Chains A and B, each alone.
Chain A
Amino acid sequence: MISPLQDFNASYGHAWPELLLAGFALAAVVLGAWSSERAFGWLSALGVAALVGAGALAISHSPVAPVALFQGAMVVDGVAVFAKALIAFSAAATLIIGADHFLRTRERRFEYPVLIVLSTLGMFVMVSAQDLISLYVGVELQSLASYVLAAWRRDDVRSSEAGLKYFVLSAISSGILLFGASFIYGFTGSIRFDAIGAAVSEGAGGVGLMFGLVLLLCAIGFKMSAAPFHMWTPDVYEGAPTPVTAFFAAAPKVAAVALMARVLYDPFADMRMQWQQVVIALSVISMVWGSFAALLQTNLKRLMAYSSIGNMGFALMGIASGTAQGPSATLIYLALYLPATIGIFALILAMRREGAPAETVGDLAGLAQKRPWMAALFTMLLFSIAGIPPFAGFIGKLLVFRAAVDAGLIWFAVVGGVAAVVAAAYYLRLLASIWFAAPAPQLQSPSGTTMLTATVAAALTFPVLVLLLGLIQDWAETAVRISF
């Protein structure tokens, strides 16, 4: 029996990514408070370095078997590492394009990189959570930083409204989460996932436990903006400054989905019959609603909000299949979804008129004639997110469909197929504007850094990730196998 102190010391050796992020955030607050606005640039650069470093540290410390930390409050395992890598790199990419944007608009406030890193730290805790308390702490840390980010433009009514709306609705969902957690605690007698898992496999709980689990799923669904808990998404996406929206659309999704996978496959694995229908419902409603509601949107950010709702539906398809390899399909789906989303937001940010990024579908008009390179990148990224081959997004769809079919849920895959066609219709609307419409007024020349990010993202969708799929697949499947 090791003492708590020994455990504490041993745990630090495995928590370097989190410590790095926390250390950066604390140091940056001090440094930022003492330096002028000019510090924004290099603090952001340091933030990117910290995020990339945290991702690299997480990968380089990949364990072969799950390692419990802090007396079982957290765990480092394959899924956690995979999710942390995705989270860290996508947060870094969105910090790059965001900082680049704020440098140009001269909104250079040092809190931006600090809040992004703190939110990322919250996500790291979420995906490593091994009991209900660390789960809640992770979710809250991620969310609290996000509220402030949403209200970043404090003089702007829309931005403040977005922040407030996000806060109020998110607080309700946190309440639901705690309510559900208390049910789970009450019916199993523990907050630790391993103890809950043991109680579940002994058949403890019954309806009361199911009730708690459903409430927990609702709250996590809210965080990942799965329909019908998506109401906040379009408004917050629209109101928040575009770089912040890009951040919301990428990293937090991974954290929430990985958390849901962990909760369902780890402590509640033996209640699959009960939760499967709930997750299938979340997935189907998200796919269908995300596709149809987006058809009528003309605002780019609202459109991307519905797009992310629909994509979460597809991602959940892997988890909902309930098969052993289902979560790995979901993880790969996310890995292929992220570059497309980040790339699209980078291009939206790069398309500036009078200092403001593109807002509506009409702003894209005639891009192919004015800036063929941007149009080509947009085309690749949009076809990827629509799931049209040969782009990476297609493979994501293929894998989640395969998970559903392997589980015998062919109808589920068919619904996904139909939703994908409807979704293709609105991505095509963007493409039609880019290629077919007469040119809109001249754009300001795009920033090199942001364009580079978009180019890298497009190169990832095709051909890099397509060629490396074998590696990613091995990684994800091994991760899932050693974790659950």
Chain B
Amino acid sequence: MTEMLAGWPLLSITTFLPTAGALWVLAARASLRGDNPGFDQGVRLITLIITIATFIASLFAFAAFDPAAPGYQLVENVPWAFGAAYRMGVDQLAMALILLTTFLTPLCILASWGIKKQVASYMVLFLLLETLMIGVFCAQDIILFYVFFEGGLIPMFILIGVWGGERRVYAAFKFFLYTLLGSLLMLVAIVAMISIAGTSSIEELTAYARNTGFDPNLQIWLWLAFFASFAVKMPMWPVHTWLPDAHVEAPTAASVVLAAILLKMGGYGFLRFSLPMFPDASHFFQPLVFALSVIAIVWASLVAFRQLDMKKLIAYSSVAHMGFVTMGIFAGTMQGIQGAIFQMLSHGVISGALFLCVGVVYDRMHTREIAFYGGLVNRMPVYAAIFLLFTMGNVGLPGTSGFPGEILTMVGTFQVNAWVAAGAALGVIFSAAYALTLYRKVALGVIENPKLDGIGDLDAREWITFIPLVIATLIMGLAPAHVLDFTAPSAEAIAAAFSGVAP
């Protein structure tokens, strides 16, 4: 298999297949002018096929990938201008996140089946978004990384603004400008790094940081600039305020992508840049990140408890879970980093699934108010069972994928700072409180709202959407070693770079 695929630009194919699909949709729209009743359905099908094909392409890339080898594989390199190049390549961490992306996107398209407004535009934007998301993880040139990283804002801005809820315009602006400010500071830092190290290849920059090292005083500033971008993306307390707005107003599938993949770019950035390239500064700022992480975990959990809107509750729970990720990353230990990576993957599946669960009832009742619902188990038993599984995953119940990540980040952090780990453990308890309360209020009890009398259980499309997510959650929960062994080489390299400069 590996030999057969040698020489193919698998990463480029995976990355740009969705773009080709977007062009296909555009060409179809241009050729079928006028009102064509079957057109919207055709566009949905094209998009679904393309996203599934992309998933298959990423599996081919996975097949050609050697899980045991360190460093970057499947490298493609085409020179461009001013020393930058079109460099693609993946290590284990990136490969895992690419698979998460390509796995979730077809499910998002299925979840978007009910979109009626400007279907073609919606699907085109979604496909472009997928290209940009995969590109972020494939890029091995810091300029190319920035292009994908920043370019993702464009489709997301329009997706939220056009297909979102009532305050969608406000949410779209806030999302865009918040992230842009962080990113432009990062751009200045990137320019400074290239100017100093004389290369824009991520691999060479990492090697430069390992062998020569950026000046520790400068590292502080570079670290802060990168932090400004990734912390907003993550999002970390106190720059998380765009997230609840964006989540609540975004259409279901965009919420899924936002929570499951876009938030991972922050964590990915910390792992790829902050730790290996600025190890001194990372040590210096470790207490700050720990403090912000624990505040995020505890505070966001408490805020989540008080929410009246289902999506907002899940959004705050995302902030709390991302707190575990940053805590684990900056612990810098093997367990911490492994746990953080696992938590990112698991949160991708679980939070995505939870937003889809909200989407199911929202499609039927057009409200996300928790008080509106109650007793859904009576009329939607299958839905209630699935919702329960993912709620438990969100809480971190052993056996679901939520557990290994949380426990590993806490173990990893405990070795560095017991108090921080203790604070995070408090958050685990709070998460049980808000997640179970949400479940009780929505699913359990008797139906009191007469409007819910006619609500129906999952249909075939929703079944198909949820089954892969259920399987993924259970496999990752019951056999986490598969994932952990896979990501170990990347985590080791990052942990080594960080501990290499232990004070």
Contacts and interface: CB of A to CB of B under 8 A. Distances in A.
Contacts of B233: none
B188 A414 contact: yes
Contacts of B29: 372
Interface string A401-412: 110011000100
B283 interface: no
Contact of B162 (A368, A413, A420): A368
A436 B249 CA distance: 13
Interface string B141-172: 00100111011011001100110000011001
A469 B121 contact: no
Interface string B217-246: 000010000000000000000000000000
A413 B188 contact: yes
Interface stretch (A185-193, A259-267, A424-432, A452-460): A424-432
Contacts, number: 96
Contact of A410 (B154, B168, B188): B188
B191 A418 contact: no
A428 B173 contact: yes
A369 B148 CA distance: 27
B161 A469 contact: no
Interface stretch (A64-72, A243-251, A275-283, A387-395): A387-395
A352 to B, nearest CB: 21
Contact of B173 (A399, A413, A425): A425
B194 to A, nearest CB: 7
B170 to A, nearest CB: 10
A473 B82 contact: yes
Nearest to A474: B81
B59 interface: no
B177 A425 contact: yes
Contacts of B118: 368-369, 372
A413 B80 CA distance: 23
Contacts of A428: 157, 173, 176-177
A421 interface: yes
Contacts of B188: 401, 405, 410, 413-414, 416-417
A469 B147 CA distance: 15
A477 to B, nearest CB: 9
Nearest to B132: A390
Interface stretch (B178-186, B322-330, B432-440, B451-459): B178-186
B191 A421 contact: no
Nearest to B124: A376
Interface in B185-231: 185, 187-188, 191-192, 194-195, 221
A435 interface: yes
A420 B168 contact: no
Contact of A420 (B169, B184, B191): B184
Contact of A398 (B173, B176, B191): B191
A60 B173 CA distance: 47
Given A406-B195, A428-B157, A435-B161, A390 B151 contact: yes
B151 A432 contact: no
A448 interface: no
B187 A417 contact: yes
Interface in A363-381: 368-369, 372, 379
Contacts of B169: 432, 436
Contact of A470 (B80, B168, B194): B80
A153 B147 CA distance: 44
Contacts of A368: 118, 121, 162
B187 A401 contact: yes
A402 B154 contact: no
Contacts of A369: 118
B146 A389 contact: yes
B81 A432 contact: no
A383 interface: yes
Given A388-B153, A388-B154, A410-B192, A432 B173 contact: yes
Contacts of A425: 173, 177
B177 A421 contact: yes
Q: Is the interface of B mostly helix, strand, loop or mixed?
A: helix
A420 B187 CA distance: 12
A413 to B, nearest CB: 5
A469 B490 CA distance: 34
Contacts of B192: 405, 410
A398 B143 contact: yes
B168 A436 contact: yes
B180 A469 contact: no
B82 A399 contact: yes
B181 A436 contact: no
Contacts of B221: 410
Contact of B81 (A372, A389, A397, A469): A469
A435 B158 contact: yes
B161 A436 contact: yes
A416 B188 CA distance: 9
A402 B143 CA distance: 12
Contacts of B157: 428, 431
A469 B80 contact: yes
B150 A432 contact: no
A242 to B, nearest CB: 27
A245 B169 CA distance: 31
A405 B195 contact: yes
Nearest to B86: A467
Contact of B172 (A406, A417, A432): A432
Interface string B269-280: 000000000000
Contacts of A379: 154, 158
Contacts of B187: 397-398, 401, 417
A320 B415 CA distance: 51
A379 B187 CA distance: 22
B81 A421 contact: no
B150 A388 contact: yes
A323 to B, nearest CB: 11
Contacts of A383: 154
B162 A418 contact: no
A387 to B, nearest CB: 9
A326 to B, nearest CB: 13
Contact of B151 (A389, A398, A410): A389
Find the residue from B172, B191, B195 having the highest chain A CB count within 10 A: B191
Nearest to B182: A421
Interface in A23-40: none
B195 A390 contact: no
Contact of B191 (A388, A401, A472): A401
B296 to A, nearest CB: 24
A461 to B, nearest CB: 13
A394 B176 CA distance: 16
A300 B147 CA distance: 28
A59 B276 CA distance: 47
Contacts of A469: 80-82
B195 A424 contact: no
B177 A436 contact: no
A428 B80 CA distance: 30
B60 to A, nearest CB: 25
Interface string A429-442: 00110011000000
A424 B185 CA distance: 14
Nearest to A406: B195
A389 B147 contact: yes
Find the residue from B79, B146, B147, B184 having the highest chain A CB count within 10 A: B184
A44 B195 CA distance: 47
B181 A418 contact: yes
A410 B193 CA distance: 12
10 contacts: A372-B29, A379-B154, A389-B147, A398-B143, A401-B188, A402-B82, A406-B195, A418-B181, A424-B176, A424-B180
Interface of A: 368-369, 372, 379, 383, 388-390, 394-395, 397-399, 401-402, 405-406, 410, 413-414, 416-418, 420-421, 424-425, 428, 431-432, 435-436, 469-470, 472-473
Given A368-B121, A432-B172, 10 more contacts: A372-B118, A390-B148, A414-B185, A417-B188, A421-B181, A421-B184, A435-B161, A472-B81, A473-B81, A473-B82
